[in-house]
């Protein structure tokens, strides 16, 4: 099969398009013929190996990448089943987070990490949907309820576009932060108010939000806390920047938590079928949809990740693999 191969850390142009052996599913796995895969900032971090702490996790590896083929979010058709898998059948259309190996014509995925594809989505659209698991879990950490006021920083990105829609579906009043270029797109997703950060400081107006979800990490913890009510929640799910900056912010959050009634959390997203099923139902009910900015063929995955790594995304980027 054809796949994108990752043998050394560095810029995405070091990725190669090669012929490799088709993987074999274990007893609890599913072999999926991949029709489309998502290219996210998380994939960019794994390919570049920066921040360096990613190399110490199961997603990375020392001194070189542990996984030959990168790529996580995907959608496709079930090709074969492990001996202990009874939840799917060959031919089923599925989507989910493979964790590794999705930038290829075939991928092996634990059955617990996939679900049946939403009926009203194409494979391209379904491959862009597992990102929403991070938004679901972040809003759950923030304990978002109907009638609350929610602020989303980075509302035009891969996670942010989903967060706007999911928060609205939960009945919240949503204020979204984005650049001028993305204001109309974010408003069309259902945001009640939109703050153009090039024209306005979100701190104006003082403490007025019950929950703030930060997908960017470009403002200080003090700035973010200043707009929360005394019992509000701040949830950070930004993965960019240096490891030092990330650890410094985490340290401040842990320290500040000792002296405030505000809930300060850092999200470590965990893929699972239950959240995928929740998203499937939400999408099929017409309450949320993916926003795809660009599509690339598999051999151009390196270029796709380079563009993703530049930031300022508008929704998701998708790699098209099978017709």
Instruction: Please state the three-class secondary structure of the chain as a single string.
Output: CEEEECCCCCCHHHCEEEECCCCCCCCCEEEEEEEEEEECHHHHHHHHCCCHHHHHCCCCCCCCCCCCCCCCEEEEEEEEECCCCCCCCCCCEEEEECCCCCCECEEEEEHHHEEECCCCCCHHHHHCCCCHHHHHHHHHHCCCCCCCEEEEECCCCCCHHHHHHHHHHCCCEEEEEECHHHHHHHHHCCCCEEEECCCCCCCCCCCCEEEEEECCCCCCHHHHHCCEEEEEEEEECCCCCCHHHHHHHHHHHHHHHHHCCCEEEECCCCCCHHHHHHHHHHHHCCCCCCCEEEEEEHHHHHHHHHHHHCCCCCCEEEEECCC
On whether both 141 and 247 belong to a single domain, the answer is yes
Residue 176's CB is within 10 A of a number of other CB atoms, namely 29
On whether both 146 and 212 belong to a single domain, the answer is yes
- In angstroms, the Cα distances linking 181 to 88, 195, 214, 313 are 42, 12, 19, 11
User: Does the N-terminal peptide bond of residue 117 adopt cis geometry, omega within 30 degrees of 0?
Assistant: no
> Each residue of 262-307: pLDDT tens digit?
989 887 788 999 999 999 999 999 999 999 999 999 999 999 999 9
Structural domain of residue 17, as residue ranges?
Answer: 2-129+290-320
Task: Give the number of domains in the chain.
Answer: 2
> What's the angle, vertex CA 165, arms to CA 139 and CA 92, rounded to 5?
95
Question: What CATH number does residue 151 fall under?
Answer: 3.40.50.720
- What's the pLDDT at 255? 61
- What's the pLDDT at 143? 94
Distance, in Å, from the CA atom of 41 to the CA atom of 157, rounded to the nearest integer, reads: 10
Question: What CATH number does residue 32 fall under?
Answer: 3.90.180.10
Does the residue 278 lie in any domain?
Answer: no
- What's the pLDDT at 141? 86
- What's the pLDDT at 218? 86
On whether both 138 and 261 belong to a single domain, the answer is yes
- What's the pLDDT at 19? 97
On whether both 146 and 237 belong to a single domain, the answer is yes
Query: Which three-class secondary structure state does DSSP give residue 276?
Result: helix
- What's the pLDDT at 92? 98
pTM over 0.85: yes
On whether both 112 and 190 belong to a single domain, the answer is no
Distance, in Å, from the CA atom of 273 to the CA atom of 115, rounded to the nearest integer, reads: 6
- What's the pLDDT at 75? 98
Does the residue 257 lie in any domain?
Answer: yes
On whether both 10 and 115 belong to a single domain, the answer is yes
> What's the angle, vertex CA 301, arms to CA 298 and CA 305, rounded to 5?
155
- What's the pLDDT at 250? 61
Regions of the chain short of the pLDDT cut 70: 239-259, 312-313, 323
Query: Which three-class secondary structure state does DSSP give residue 101?
Result: coil
What kind and span of H or E run contains 188? helix 183-188
- What's the pLDDT at 237? 84
Does the residue 275 lie in any domain?
Answer: no
Query: Which three-class secondary structure state does DSSP give residue 168?
Result: helix
Does the residue 280 lie in any domain?
Answer: no
Distance, in Å, from the CA atom of 43 to the CA atom of 72, rounded to the nearest integer, reads: 7
- What's the pLDDT at 245? 58
On whether both 121 and 33 belong to a single domain, the answer is yes
- What's the pLDDT at 265? 87
């Amino acid at each position: 099969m054809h796949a994108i191969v990752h043998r050394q850390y560095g810029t995405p142009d070091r990725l190669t398009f090669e012929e490799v052996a088709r993987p074999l599913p274990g007893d609890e796995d599913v072999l999926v013929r991949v029709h489309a895969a998502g290219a996210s900032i998380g994939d960019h971090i794994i390919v570049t190996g920066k921040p360096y702490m990613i190399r110490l996790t199961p997603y990375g590896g020392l001194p070189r990448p542990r996984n030959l083929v990168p790529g996580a979010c995907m959608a496709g058709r079930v090709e074969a089943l492990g001996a202990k898998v009874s939840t799917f059948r060959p031919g089923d259309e599925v989507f989910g987070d493979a964790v590794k190996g999705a930038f290829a014509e075939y991928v092996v995925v634990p059955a617990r990490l996939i679900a049946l594809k939403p009926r009203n989505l194409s494979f391209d659209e379904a491959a862009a949907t597992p990102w929403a698991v991070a938004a679901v879990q972040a809003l759950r950490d923030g304990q978002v309820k109907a009638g609350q006021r929610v602020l989303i920083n980075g509302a035009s990105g891969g996670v942010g576009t989903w967060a706007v829609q999911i928060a609205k579906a939960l009945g919240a009043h949503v204020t979204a932060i984005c650049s001028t270029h993305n204001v109309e797109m974010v408003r069309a997703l259902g945001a009640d108010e939109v703050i153009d950060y090039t024209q306005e400081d979100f701190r104006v107006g003082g403490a007025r939000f019950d929950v703030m979800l930060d997908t960017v990490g470009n403002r200080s913890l003090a700035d973010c806390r200043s707009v929360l009510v005394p019992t509000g929640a701040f949830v950070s799910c930004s993965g960019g920047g240096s490891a030092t900056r990330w650890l410094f912010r985490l340290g401040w959050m842990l320290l500040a938590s000792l002296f405030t009634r505000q809930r300060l959390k850092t999200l470590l997203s965990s893929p699972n079928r239950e959240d995928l099923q929740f998203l499937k139902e939400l999408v099929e009910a017409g309450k949320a949809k993916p926003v795809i900015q660009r599509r690339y063929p598999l051999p151009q995955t390196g270029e796709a990740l380079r563009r993703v790594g530049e930031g300022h995304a508008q929704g998701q980027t998708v790699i098209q693999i099978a017709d």
